[in-house]
Structure formats: structure tokens, C-alpha cells
Amino acid sequence: MPIASLLIVLGISGLGCAPPQDEVAALFADSSAWIDLTYSYNAQTIYWPTAEPFGLEQVASGVTEAGYYYAANNFSAAEHGGTHFDAPIHFAEGKPTADQIPLSRLIGPAVVIDVEANASANADYLVSIADFEAFEAVHGPMPDGAIVLLRTGWGRHWPDAAAYLGTDVRGEDAIPLLHFPGLEPTAARWLVEERSIAALGIDTPSIDYGQSSDFESHQVLLAAEIPAFENVANLDRMPEAGGYVIALPMKIEGGSGGPLRIVGVVPTR
């Protein structure tokens, strides 16, 4: 079954309501552009300063005694690092874990809020309600079930951890030194109360800015069961409106998050 037909049958667009068949067909046509919004996991992958980094252990690589080639590895990683997602339980007790997230929260129309001009001049920039209203003044209201992506331009620093995080210090001593843009808590609350979004992503290490001490935007969104995507790549290649996102995290039973493979789809009609 073609993916467009499958999505319609499952009704997993937005928050459960499938779009018209011609709209889905246009998104998944051969002419559509697919954009990888995921950073590779490797020795340079950026993690929170207190988290364990990614590790890859080679188990086998070569021709076996039986004459065929075989390769296998072990990997280890903290849940929250690289391009990853935060499940609601990460900051909201009793809320869904990584394996309990409905697909309707992970697949939907993309809304890209471009604040790069402001963030480039202020590493502690907070995306505000005014930024969302400016988007809507041009593109109209965010559609129900939208996956909102905050484009700060911070991806230009990847994989330079010192520039991306604001410091090259590791461990607890790094926390007061973190500087990168994030989402203003009042704007997070506005999204919950005034709009009906499926998820929110950002091209920085956290949806809360580096100097946050209470992670209030996490608390607000995750309490409303809105998952967060962090360290999203290549947002400069996504249009502000008209695209679509598929974000599939590792399904870790009981997990608070995990590695995320996220892609954008842009129709070329």
C-alpha cells in the first residue's frame, strides 16, 4: 500500500484527522523533496554536559570463516543527546513514556518559526508569542496538529560543542555557562492554551534556553503531553509553511526520551 494511502487509512495526520487525499498524494509524490532533519550519531555528537556521550564498540567487521562478510556493533548513549525527543514523562510525572506516544503526535504539517535574525544577535533569545503572531500574520493560523519547529540558526555551530552549548566545560560546572536560544515559557503556555499543536522542535540543545534554571517551557508543554524534539538539523531547508514532518523516535519502554529520526517532506508542486 502506498504511504499516502496508508496515512489516510490510519488517520494519523495531525491529531487524528487525515487531510484530503490529493494533499497527501502531493506530499508523498515522487517529485516531493525529502529533507533529513537528523544529525548522525558519532564521537562528535553533542550531549548535555552531564550526560554520557555516544559510544560505538565494534563487535565484528570482516569475512567470516564461512566466507561471507559480517559486521556488527554495540552502541551506548544517554536518552537525551544528538537529535532526540523528550517524552512527556521527562518533566511531567505520570505522563506518557517514550513507547506510549501516539503516532498522531509525531506526524503532521510543519510550521517553521524563523527567529534566526534575532537569535544571531542574542544567544539567550527567547521565542515569543509575538514571533508566533508574526508567522500567522503571513501564513494564517497554525493548523491543528501542527509540528512547530523553531529555527534559530543554531545549527550553524554543529558539531562545535563550545559554540553550540556556549561552553566546552563538562559536568555540573558547565550548567551556569550554557548559552543558546529557547522558547519563552509564556509562549509555551500560549501554544497549549490557544493552539492545538502536536509537537514542538528546535535546532538547539533544549527547548528552554541555556540560562534556564527551572525548564518551565518543558514543564508546560510536556504536562500537556506535547513532546519536544531537540537538536533538529537542517531547518534552513524547510519552508515556513507547506511542509510535513515524520518524527519517529526509538521506542524505549518506560523511556523519558530517545534518539529521533526526523525527516521533512516538501511538495514541489
- Which positions are annotated as active-site residues? 90
Three-class SS state of 121: helix
Q: Indicate the Cα dihedral angle 91, 96, 100, 102, nearest 10°.
A: -90
Three-class SS state of 127: strand
Q: In whole angstroms, what is the distance from residue 213 CA to residue 124 CA? A: 13
User: CA distances (Å), 221 to each of 81, 197, 267, in order?
Assistant: 19, 10, 29
What is the separation of C-alpha 85 from the centre of its chain, rounded to a whole number of angstroms? 6
Count of alpha carbons within 13 angstroms of residue 87, beta-carbon side: 25
Q: How many CB atoms lie within 10 A of CB 2?
A: 10
What is the end-to-end Cα distance of the chain in Å, rounded? 23
φ and ψ at 236, to 5 degrees?
-70, -15
| Closest-CA residue to 126 (of 181, 176, 164) | 181
φ and ψ at 263, to 5 degrees?
-135, 150
Handedness of CA 260, 102, 86, 187 (dihedral sign): positive
